Amino acid sequence: MYFDGSITEARSGAGVVIESPQGQKWQFAFQLDFKCTNNQAEYEALIIGLEILKEMKATRVLVYGDSQLVINQLTREYQCTSENLAMYYVTALNTADGFSRISFVHVPRTENGKANEMAQVTSGVNIPNIDHDRVIRIERRTLPALAERGMPAQLSSVDITDEISAAEADWRYPIVKYLRNPSGSHERTTRFQARCYLIYHNELYRKG
């Protein structure tokens, strides 16, 4: 699967191209009818593409994208430190967990041409040398992927490690302990505070 996002002053777009092992190809273009940054548009395209693959019953997936930031966050080469992207990052990983095998590969834009074309068509970019007789079906998304899942648009992330024993005085310790074992013995205050947090891949996230 190839994915790409594009934004202009007028609107944003997401492009997805899926190729089967047998060489069959499907191209998808989505107009994003909401404000987002370029990196958020990239994540939107990625999440949409993964959803399509799930509908197609795919189990083993190779994902290609030209966004070095998004790909390297998903491969853990970069940490996701942006509050505007943290929830997209978590959502993408959650969606990716549904496949038996998945890999993320960064490619140059020249190797991501079709997905880029789909994204640019929907965002209103004037593409030279495009086949104007070609029919491109454009679907519209009126809500961000996060809103569709009832998730907050932003999270503040705090790195945590398994070496909790050295950090019992840390304010995070009771919250982490509760989230890892809600049925244990915990103070009422801790239970109340923990409602504002979640743990994903050994990171503590604050909701909202």
14-64 pLDDT, tens digit per residue, is 999 999 999 999 999 999 999 999 999 999 999 999 999 999 999 999 999
Tens digits of residue pLDDT in 130-162: 554 454 678 888 888 888 877 766 655 454 333
pLDDT at 56: 93
Domain range summary for the chain, segments of one domain joined by +: 2-149, 171-206
Tens digits of residue pLDDT in 183-207: 777 788 888 888 887 776 667 777 6
pLDDT at 207: 67
Q: What is the full DSSP assignment across 100-162?
A: SEEEEEE--GGG-HHHHHHHHHHHT---TT--TTS---EEEE-S-HHHHTT--S-EEEEE--S
pTM exceeds 0.75 for this model: no
What is the average pLDDT across 119-130?
72
* Alpha carbon distances (Å) from 206 to 65, 90, 200: 28, 12, 11
Q: Is 198 exposed, middle or buried (0-12, 13-18, 19+ CB in 10 A)?
A: middle
- Residue 174, Cβ neighbours under 10 Å: how many? 17
What is the average pLDDT across 60-78?
93
- Long-range pairs of 177-184 with CB within 8 A, sequence gap ≥ 24: 179/204
Phi, psi (deg, nearest 5) at residue 156: -100, 125
In CATH, 2-149 is 3.30.420.10: yes
pLDDT at 1: 97
Question: pLDDT category, 208, cuts 50, 70, 90?
Answer: low
pLDDT at 47: 96
